[in-house]
Amino acid sequence: MARKGMRLAVGATVIAAGLITLATVSFRQNLVYYLSVGEFLDRHGDLPSRGYRVNGNVVAGSVVRATAGPGVTFTITDGRRTMPVAYTRELPDTFRDGTEVVIEGPADANGVFQARTLLAKCPSKYEKLGPEHPKNIRRGDSPAPSGTS
Question: Which among 121, 120, 119, 115 is positioned nearest to 52, based on CA atoms?
Answer: 115
| pLDDT of res. 80 | 93
Q: What is the rounded distance in angstroms from the CA atom of residue 24 to the CA atom of residue 76?
A: 33
Average pLDDT over residues 11-36: 75
Is pTM, for the whole model, over 0.85?
no
If one compares 136 and 84, the residue with the highest pLDDT of the two is: 84
What pLDDT band is residue 144 in, cutting at 50, 70 and 90?
Answer: low
Mean pLDDT across the stretch 118-142?
Answer: 61
pLDDT at 111 over 90: no
pLDDT in tens, 45-59: 665 566 788 999 999
Provide the CA 125 distance to its chain's centre, in angstroms: 19
Distance of CA 114 to the CA centre of its chain: 13
User: Of all residues in the chain, what percent carry a pLDDT higher than 70?
Assistant: 70
Look at the domain 31-126 and name its fold. Answer: OB fold (Dihydrolipoamide Acetyltransferase, E2P) (2.40.50)
